[in-house]
Amino acid sequence: MTELDFIRQRQDVEAYRALSWEGSFADYLRLLKEDPRPLRTSFQRVYDMILSHGVEERTLFKEKLLHYPFFDDPFEGGRDAVFGLDKPLMRLVATLKAAAHRLGPERRILLLHGPVGSAKSTIARLLKKGLEAYSRTEEGRLYTFYWKTEEGPFPCPMHEEPLHLLPIELREAFLEELRRLHPDYPYPLEVEGDLCPACRFQMREALARHGGDLAAVLEKEIVVKRLVLSEKDRVGIGTFQPKDEKNQDSTELTGDINYRKVAIYGSDSDPRAFNFDGELNIANRGLVEFIEILKLDVAFLYDLLTASQEHKIKSKKFAQTDIDEIVLGHTNEPEYRKLQANEYMEALRDRTIKIDVPYILRVSDEVRIYQRDFAKTRGKHIAPHTLEMAATWAVLTRLEPPRRAGLTLMQKLKLYDGRLLPGWTEEAVRELMAEAKREGLEGISPRYIQDKISNVLVTSEEPCINPFMVLNELEEGLKHHSLISDEKTRERYRALLQEVKAEYAEIVKNEVQRAIAADEEALNRLFHNYIDHVKAYVLGEKVKNPYTGSPEPPNERLMRSIEERIDIPESRKDDFRREIMNYIGAMALEGRQFTYKDNDRLRRALELKLFEDQKDTIRLSALVSGVVDPETQAKIDVVKARLIRDHGYCQHCAAGVLEFAASLFARSER
């Protein structure tokens, strides 16, 4: 095997040839008769690109949502995946759909609006990345052309649709034939626009050479070729980032004169002496992204108005040039407020479709961002709940205080995350969300959380980082947070950190309780004992004493000692016991045997009862005093092993969490 054989074995020459396809204009017309999809507009292509990855229906609080897997980033394994923004993305896709069907939005600027770090840039990056990939597929192919000249191939600088070479009346006749051949085609079969100035010049010259014979020009001087969109090659995808106002130049958008070629062609109005390489030029047939669009100079914004509304751009020395591209901008809240306050920007506001991209409001979605970013931590272990607690604090800062009496902010957070509380229905949660109009447009961004987690990972010498390390780092960073402008907000965020620490303490207590009570045999014995007595109680029977063999009344003390663990009052005990018996009966009809794992409330009650019975024998308090005898240590090691096995702790953080739990239990017993 030679040094290059491993390359030869892996390269796809056939794919390269397919992407490099060239043919005559007649070949292209035949191709369109078979499949007219290459004629799609930029909006149609982007909409089909998103749908090509499928659509999933989801339900949140009894509201149907559409999830588009395209935004999970199938191109780079989820690197740019967008989490928890199904509603904003639904609105974006609905806008693209309306534009694809030429219902109006195709003549608007799409503006992604939201706070810093809310995934606006990520959405734009996904659309650009997706367009590149889609243009390389059979379904997403599109074409352009070049001229055969004495100097060599002269490619259309605007990557135009080849049908622009046909005059309007001939083009319409051909499109009418396509409509007849493809009556079920989903979009209007129309091709708007005309040749760019450079191609108009070439056409005039060619027609003069061939005595006005357009067919001869198309046959002998035109080569149609496959067009592959690429941001790096500046083909069909453009990106513009404003600089300071003194350095802004409209030629960056619409191209500039090439003075070296002026000397060759003798005129600065000769299209061959012009570089049609502005961002609006090169983005033709695809998409142009404007970063912080509202920071653009006013003169630039006028170019955008014409580009979006009229689908034309005006380059120096030339008539307006037709374009077909999506103008996508994004901006943050302060810049958008300035736009609203500026009466001179009314035209821009009128031609803009604003799509709000707020912060995530569900902890489970926020956690996924951090799990993706910190999945590989180079030997450092991240203790259970570390990312969850950071995400909890981030979401709390974004929520508006609840207006409902008796509902805390932490409870509101849990409701939003799908954990229904007693007395709350899914409809009530939807009403709660509807009340908060600006929720998610303020608060702490994911970037701040990511930065602080990174700091802890880099600076800590411990083999494992835990929630307190991260929460303390988050609190320390508030002193210097550049986006917090007033001390009142800073203090509110600090108070929310204390709430998160209290929430974490409850989680730790519950996990340690479960680990202590995770004795399957003991739980099963307690479960069967409880069920025997509940069954006898509900049916009005007696229970046989296993020691004396005598029938006895059901043990009320035993049953209440379990039920009280989950706050079932005396007045509700009969309902709970009947509920358990109904559960057993229903499962028996299905041929299944009821176990304590089939009812979460009963399982929790049994675990808490067993914990109370066993905690004194394990003597966690010894961990606080530091005096642990071998027998106690052996029992503690069993609990530690369960934390590692069942809850994802490592040796280091399992020991730490047991000490923390021991101090919590010791405090509660004082």
Bridge partners of 112, per DSSP, are 330, 355
Give the residue-averaged pLDDT of 75-96: 95
Average pLDDT value over all residues in the chain: 89
**Are residues 597 and 452 both part of a single domain?**
no
- The pair of structure tokens assigned to 389 is 């607690």
**Are residues 415 and 537 both part of a single domain?**
no
The reply to whether 532 falls in a domain is yes
**Are residues 268 and 367 both part of a single domain?**
no
**Are residues 438 and 555 both part of a single domain?**
no
306-362 residue pLDDT tens: 899 999 998 888 889 999 999 999 998 888 887 777 776 777 788 899 999 999 999
- The pair of structure tokens assigned to 210 is 């061939």
The reply to whether 499 falls in a domain is no
Give the residue-averaged pLDDT of 360-378: 90
532-553 residue pLDDT tens: 888 888 888 888 877 677 888 8
pLDDT of residue 512: 86
**Are residues 76 and 221 both part of a single domain?**
yes
The reply to whether 557 falls in a domain is yes
End residue of a domain, out of 615, 639, 660: 615
Cα–Cα distance for residue pair 478/452, rounded to 1 Å:
11
Ramachandran bin of 503, using left for φ above 0, alpha for ψ from -120 to 50, beta for the remaining angles: alpha
Note whether 415 and 404 are within 8 A (CB). no
**Are residues 291 and 389 both part of a single domain?**
no
**Are residues 542 and 562 both part of a single domain?**
yes
**Are residues 480 and 527 both part of a single domain?**
no
Within 308-426, strands assigned E span 312-314, 320-322, 326-331, 352-356, 381-382
Q: Which residue has the higher pLDDT, 54 or 420?
A: 54
**Are residues 545 and 481 both part of a single domain?**
no
Nearest one of 189, 145, 184 to 164, comparing CA atoms: 145
**Are residues 412 and 447 both part of a single domain?**
yes
The reply to whether 500 falls in a domain is no
The reply to whether 507 falls in a domain is no
pLDDT of residue 248: 65
Q: Is the pLDDT of residue 371 over 90?
A: yes
pLDDT of residue 247: 60
**Are residues 337 and 390 both part of a single domain?**
no
Q: Is the pLDDT of residue 73 over 70?
A: yes
The CATH number linked to 328 is 3.40.50.300
Cα–Cα distance for residue pair 281/158, rounded to 1 Å:
6
pLDDT of residue 627: 55
- pLDDT range class, residue 198, cuts 50, 70, 90: very high
Residue tagged 């005006």 (tokens):
314
**What's the number of domains the chain is made of?**
3
Q: Which residue has the higher pLDDT, 632 or 583?
A: 583
**Are residues 283 and 320 both part of a single domain?**
yes
- Measured from the Cβ of residue 380, the count of other Cβ atoms closer than 10 Å reads 15
Cα–Cα distance for residue pair 600/510, rounded to 1 Å:
14
pLDDT of residue 669: 56
The reply to whether 650 falls in a domain is no
**Structural domain harbouring 376:** 363-491
